[in-house]
Chain A
């Protein structure tokens, strides 16, 4: 009876929506698409060109490619560690493996200018995105 006098009658939320609800694989997709687009544009540059405009473009594209490979990894890690739950793992036994490989592909794309690796990353992100939307049905 004494405890009833002490127990709160309401809950007040000192809350944060951001780490507890808003998840979307679109950010990872945009980042992976950006990496692929930069690889395409870098590959189209004339390697022998030494004018400053071409050099400037080259440096800029490399920077954007590397930044977006890193963004992609971060976005995937948020989905992996925060969004997906044990029950999703039961439904998708390959979940951990898919994320692990996708994260490694982010690093590979950061280090290289490789159209095949960029396409693999896009495919991996699509696979994760498909799993994500399947959990929403």
Chain B
């Protein structure tokens, strides 16, 4: 688990229009219990080496339901079920590229 901020590139289309393929994001470490609405980076429950980017739709007891913003183009908790909170490795805080769309990632 990374302790400080780190950077990820967005791949795929399931978080449009909030996040687009090729966006570069600053990711902060998780802070305790995730909040509904925040965009998180999590380990793919089917392949831990693979990172996913989804929005928290609900928080249960030790597990979260994550969903892509584009419901018709997203593989998420509807498919792989709730994800343990411990699989969340960061929260998307800020987009720094492209500069024209730089800004905070909204919950």
**A residues lining the B interface (CB < 8 Å):** 6-19
Contact = CB atoms under 8 A, between A and B. Distances in A.
Interface of B: 6-16, 19, 21, 24-25, 27, 41, 44, 50-54, 68, 70, 73-75, 79, 92, 96-97
Contacts, number: 76
Given A13-B52, A13-B53, A15-B75, A6 B12 contact: no
Contacts of B12: 13-16
A13 B79 CA distance: 15
Given A8-B25, A12-B41, 15 more contacts: A6-B97, A9-B7, A9-B8, A10-B8, A12-B9, A12-B10, A13-B12, A13-B51, A14-B12, A14-B53, A15-B12, A15-B74, A16-B14, A17-B75, A17-B79
A8 B8 CA distance: 5
A88 B25 CA distance: 37
Contacts of A7: 7, 24
Contacts of A18: 73, 75
B45 to A, nearest CB: 13
B8 A16 contact: no
